[in-house]
Amino acid sequence: MDIKEIQTIDHDVLVVGAGGAGIRAAIECAQLGLNTGMISKSLLGKAHTVMAEGGAAAAMGNVDKRDNWKIHFRDTMRGGKFLNQWRMAELHAQQAPDRVRELEEWGAVFDRTPDGLINQRNFGGHRYPRLAHVGDRTGLEIIRTLQDFCIHKGIATHMECTGLDLLLDSGRVAGLVGYWRETGRFVIFRTKAVIFATGGGGRAWQVTSNSWEYTGDGLGMAYRAGAELMDLEFTQFHPTGMMWPPSVKGTLVTEGVRGEGGVLLNNKGERFMFKYIPQRFAAETADTIEEAERWVKGDKNARRPPELLTRDVVARAIKKEVEEGRGSPHGGAFLDIASRRPADFIKKKLPSMYHQFKELAEVDITKEPMEVGPTLHYFMGGIRVDADTQATTVPGLFACGECSAGMHGANRLGGNSLSDLLVFGKLAGIGARDYVKNVSQGKIDEGQATAVIRNATAPLNREEGPNPYTVQEDLQKTMQQLVGLIRSAAELQKALSEIERIKKDIEKVKAHAAPQYNPGWNAAIDLNNLIVTAQAVAMAALAREESRGGHTRIDFEGEREEGLTYNVILNKDPNGKMQLRKEPRQTPPKHLADIAYAKIEDLERQNG
Amino acid sequence: MAERTFRVWRGDKTGGQFVEYKIEIDKGMVVLDAIHRIQEQKASDLACRWNCKAGKCGSCSMEINGKPKLGCMTRMNSFKEDEVITIKPLKTFPIIKDLVTDVSWNYEQNKRIAPLKLPPRPKDGKYRMYQRDADRVQEFRKCIECYLCQNVCHVLRDQHKKDKFVGPRFMIRLASLEMHPLDTEDRIEKIKNEYGSGYCNITKCCTDVCPEHIHITDNGIIPLKERVVDRFFDPIAILLHKIFGKKKSS
């Protein structure tokens, strides 16, 4: 193979991924005058952001004037079990309102308050109605707004182009090798900086809300380039995924159903969440149905219903009810809004949920309850980044959105992802610009590029080998059974040995036919990243001997004080093996610790 | 479990044919599940786009037994028990491979449309719009860009006038901008002269196939046609437009 025959495209910055974070980062780069490229595995506007339903959290105070950024920050830290990067949570809470208002300027039409302002809804873990939303299709509104805006900014959008690996020059980013799905041909992007916005790795599990794209590509590529990964043990199982029929098991049911007054019931008809209120949230959660009902009716003195506790708490509660024999027929819980709100209200506020259940499960949610259960939804962990610039530990590589770590700590609050991708997408663009202006284009090492391409074509060139779909299913079963919602040392160790076995299958995997638009071959390539992701999650989960947020150990119940003193960091050792260390956490800045541990009333008083 | 027969179009721009696959179908499956099962068991290189699998992303558009649909929202139990399921790619766009077509023309149309232009922010920094006004635009913004409407539009599908008419999807995009309560841009002249509003002859085929049930013709295209008529063919409106330069007629 002559490397000179490979197509080469030059950009100052290449953004990998075109979900909300990627497009927002690309817009920033282009507006700052950089020659900006963006690649995406799918067509523009189809990324997982479209699945975000509930809204974007931003303390604008349009519905409840008591809200302010400090309370949003406090909620985020408490939701993250205080393991968040303090500075990231601060930047996020401070900047989210401007990012949401900016979207409105770019064309987003959010639902309105009676005064004509952007309406905000209640959501799990948020003290006040805070989520700017459009019915239950907020993600679609946000990605379409970004998409429609970005096409006028001179960004070179390369659709259906998948990244394979970074190219380095003396340890810094010089480019990236990718391939076009349509032709199966390779392309080298020569760039000074690369921003990863590749999302999570939910496809490593059987029951997930994620689509085929979410194979941890950014994590895999960053890891192989020497970057550090962080907090991978924290995987969010969204409490309400669809349970039936089997083909849609895991598909997301928005938390907005509970935000709009929906309740969770077991097979005895009990609102079981009252039994699962953690001490930390007891003071701010209703402990009787009567009080919860008053809150739903708008009584500002009533405390929040326990159905709106953070996702980790609700997911574990559903699992417990099922284990103790109080589950729904397909092994979940009942989510009931039919008996609580009029049909017209449900159709107006939750139109896509109505549609989704009607068409896919033949359930009319205005008449009957939904069956729901935990589904792997989101990675709190990811590539380690600097809080202000989103720079990773590899010079020239930046990361934002779900593939980066730190903002959400041990558990993400619903609504904090759409705002995260806006805030940190922009900051990653600025970070990349500041980096790019001081560096020259690195040299492309032909040997590196050739090796990446050889590795990618290997599955097509083999005479025989395992089917990539079978290998993927094998890995998914392993992660589902052994690295699920509740974990133990014995199961995690078994998972790690299974992962080693599956690695050998991946080395031998065989894809049939030609490279042109070949999903089997594409799946074979994705396995290289999925396996890094799976191993990182399992290793980190084994190392953290406590239960915190999205990481629950049956052999180490409850939070341990020691757990707050470190973050789990993973990277590649000189021999190419994954190594783990516990990095001590810095003492939190005093001004932020004061807010995070403040009484809610003291923070409310700080508003005008 | 029951065995079902699928005829799936396989090929590329040079040509192709239907290939028959027999696979087991479980309760609750949709057509996209069947395609995935064919990929896993029979033809791993069968090309098909998909993402969300819940009718929200508009990736898996195809023609199923002659009807343009989303594969992920078409339940197997909507067919008769012995019915053979024939699956074809969208006809209106050039074939890439199997069920995947080149829809890039649509993305080019969007680039031609002038984006939203808002007046400066009020002093308190907060734009105001009322829900009843937002409702009108929000209907159009439900569009998931599946391009099923583009696929069935006679002007694009049968008359091949992609150079004359942007198609229902982008008429809806234009309607969402023109009817935005705060927008100040004027696109009416271009709607007539460049985007080809006159080519639509209101057969409502686009509305019939819209998986989001957007009233594309009644609420989007017809009001835009009326604005064009007001601007170009109503003498009083023409005069007022000349004097006041007022953009919006409603």
Claim to verify: residue A502 and residue A369 sit in the same structural domain = no
Give residue-wise pLDDT tens across range A229-251. Answer: 999 999 999 999 999 888 889 99
Q: Pairing mode, if any, of strands B15-25 and B2-12?
A: antiparallel
The single residue listed with the structure tokens 């027929």 is A329
> What is the band of A155 on the pLDDT scale with cuts at 50, 70, 90?
very high
Give residue-wise pLDDT tens across range A211-224. Answer: 999 999 999 999 99
- The one-character DSSP state at A594 is H
Mean pLDDT of A362-369: 96
A210 inside domain: yes
Identify the pLDDT of residue B43: 96
Distances (CA, A) of A252 to A52, A536, B95: 9, 25, 32
Residue A373 is inside which H or E element, if any? strand A370-379
Identify the pLDDT of residue B180: 98
3-state secondary structure of A369: coil
Query: In chain B, what are the domains?
Result: 2-101 (3.10.20.30), 104-244 (1.10.1060.10)
A307 inside domain: yes
> What is the band of A608 on the pLDDT scale with cuts at 50, 70, 90?
very low
Claim to verify: residue A244 and residue A201 sit in the same structural domain = no
Active-site residue among A48, A133, A238, A548?
A238
Claim to verify: residue A371 and residue A223 sit in the same structural domain = no
A581 inside domain: no
CB distance B94 to B101 below 8 Å: yes
Claim to verify: residue A216 and residue A110 sit in the same structural domain = yes
The single residue listed with the structure tokens 């979940």 is A332
A157 inside domain: yes
A277 inside domain: yes
Claim to verify: residue A135 and residue A230 sit in the same structural domain = yes
The single residue listed with the structure tokens 């809204």 is A55
Q: Pairing mode, if any, of strands A397-399 and A186-196?
A: parallel
User: CA angle, B57 as apex, B112 and A57 as ends, to 5°?
Assistant: 95
Distance (Å, rounded) from C-alpha A513 to C-alpha A530? Answer: 23
Identify the pLDDT of residue B199: 97
Compute the Cα dihedral for A527, A531, A532, A533 and give only its sign.
positive
Contact B40 A245 (CB under 8 A): no
Find the length of chain B: 250
- The one-character DSSP state at A182 is T
Find the length of chain A: 608
Q: Is the pLDDT of residue A522 over 50?
A: yes
> What is the band of B130 on the pLDDT scale with cuts at 50, 70, 90?
very high
Identify the pLDDT of residue A313: 93
Claim to verify: residue A121 and residue A204 sit in the same structural domain = yes
Residue A77 Cα to chain centre, angstroms: 17
Q: Count A/B contacts: CB-CB distance under 8 Å.
A: 171
Give residue-wise pLDDT tens across range A23-57. Answer: 999 999 999 999 999 999 999 999 999 988 889 99
Nearest to B144 by CA among B72, B223, B246, B221: B72
Burial A17-49 (b: 16+ CB within 10 A, else e): bbbbbbbbbbbbbbbbebbbbbbbbbbbbbbbb
A538 inside domain: yes
Claim to verify: residue A359 and residue A395 sit in the same structural domain = no
Q: Is the pLDDT of residue B89 over 80?
A: yes
Q: How far away is chain B from the Cα of A347, in angstroms, using its nearest Cα? A: 13
Claim to verify: residue A104 and residue A221 sit in the same structural domain = yes
Contact A519 B142 (CB under 8 A): no
Find all residues with CB under 8 Å of B130, minimum gap 6, and list them.
Answer: A112, A116, B181
Claim to verify: residue A86 and residue A195 sit in the same structural domain = yes
Mean pLDDT of chain A: 96
- The one-character DSSP state at A588 is P
CB distance A371 to A244 below 8 Å: yes
Q: Is the pLDDT of residue A604 over 90?
A: no
Distance (Å, rounded) from C-alpha A73 to C-alpha A55? Answer: 17
**Structure token pair of residue A199:** 């999302």
Q: How far away is chain B from the Cα of A355, in angstroms, using its nearest Cα? A: 9
Distance (Å, rounded) from C-alpha B53 to C-alpha B30? Answer: 10
Mean pLDDT of A576-590: 96
Q: Which of B30, B44, B131 faces A511 most closely, judged by CB atoms? A: B44
Q: Is the pLDDT of residue A373 over 50?
A: yes
A192: amino acid identity, one letter: K
ipTM attached to this prediction = 0.95
A142 inside domain: yes
> What backbone torsions phi and psi does residue B119 show, to the nearest 5 degrees?
-70, 165
Residue A478 Cα to chain centre, angstroms: 21
CB distance A501 to A474 below 8 Å: no
Strand partners, A158: A39
Residue A558 is inside which H or E element, if any? none
Is A238 marked active-site? yes
Number of domains observed in the structure of chain A: 3
Distances (CA, A) of A496 to A44, A377, A513, A522, B127: 36, 22, 32, 25, 53
First-residue to last-residue Cα distance in chain B: 56
Domain span including residue A559: 455-563
SS (H, E, C) chain B: CEEEEEEEEEEECCEEEEEEEEEEECCCCEHHHHHHHHHHHCCCCCCCCCCCCCCCCCCCEEEECCEEEEHHHCEHHHCCCCCCEEEECCCCCCEEECCEECCHHHHHHHHHCCCCCCCCCCCCCCCCCCHHHHHHHHHHHCCCCCCHHHHHCHHHHCCCCCCCCCCHHHHHHHHHHHCCCCCCCCCHHHHHHCCCHHHCCCCCHHHHHCCCCCCHHHHHHHHHHHHHHHHHHCHHHHHHHHHHCCCCCC
**Structure token pair of residue A292:** 């919860």
Identify the pLDDT of residue A592: 97
Q: Which of A45, A101, A519 faces B46 most closely, judged by CB atoms? A: A519
Most A CBs within 10 A among B45, B132, B144, hence the mutation to make, goes to: B45
Q: Which residues of A touch B47 (CB under 8 A)?
A: 516-519
Q: Is the pLDDT of residue A606 over 60?
A: yes
Claim to verify: residue A521 and residue A539 sit in the same structural domain = yes
Q: Tell which B residues from 162 to 201 touch A, by Cβ distance under 8 Å.
A: 173, 176-177, 180
Give yes or no for B16 touching A (CB within 8 A).
Answer: no
Mean pLDDT of A331-349: 95
Distance (Å, rounded) from C-alpha A406 to C-alpha A429? Answer: 18
Half-sphere exposure of B96 (CA within 13 A, CB side): 20
Mean pLDDT of chain B: 94
Distance (Å, rounded) from C-alpha A441 to C-alpha A144? Answer: 33
Identify the pLDDT of residue A607: 67
Q: Which residues of A touch B14 (CB under 8 A)?
A: none
3-state secondary structure of A260: coil
Distance (Å, rounded) from C-alpha A417 to C-alpha A56? Answer: 7
Give residue-wise pLDDT tens across range B94-112. Answer: 999 999 999 999 999 999 9
Distance (Å, rounded) from C-alpha A249 to C-alpha A374? Answer: 10
Identify the pLDDT of residue B246: 52
Distances (CA, A) of B221 to A9, A515, B167, B204: 40, 42, 10, 10
Q: Quick count: other Cβ atoms within 10 Å of Cβ A303?
A: 18
Distance (Å, rounded) from C-alpha A536 to C-alpha A538? Answer: 6
Distance (Å, rounded) from C-alpha A202 to C-alpha A219? Answer: 12
A123 inside domain: yes
Strand partners, A167: A175
- Domain end: A356, A376, A396, which one? A376
CATH assignment of the domain containing A260:
3.90.700.10
Find all residues with CB under 8 Å of A374, minimum gap 6, and list them.
Answer: A207, A237, A238, A239, A241, A315, A318, A319, A485
Active-site residue among A258, A304, A316, A341?
A258
- The one-character DSSP state at A401 is G
Q: Is the pLDDT of residue A403 over 60?
A: yes
Claim to verify: residue A128 and residue A223 sit in the same structural domain = yes
Distance (Å, rounded) from C-alpha A151 to C-alpha B118? Answer: 18
Mean pLDDT of A329-337: 96
CATH assignment of the domain containing A28:
3.50.50.60
Give the DSSP letter string of A272-339: GGGGG--HHHHTTB--SHHHHHHHHTT-TTSPBPGGGS-HHHHHHHHHHHHHTT---TTSSEEEE-TT
| Burial of residue A55 (number of CB atoms within 10 Å: 0-12, 13-18, 19+) | buried
> What is the band of A1 on the pLDDT scale with cuts at 50, 70, 90?
low
Claim to verify: residue A128 and residue A268 sit in the same structural domain = no
Q: Is the pLDDT of residue B249 over 70?
A: no
Residue B234 Cα to chain centre, angstroms: 31
Contact B142 A511 (CB under 8 A): no
- Domain end: A376, A395, A421, which one? A376
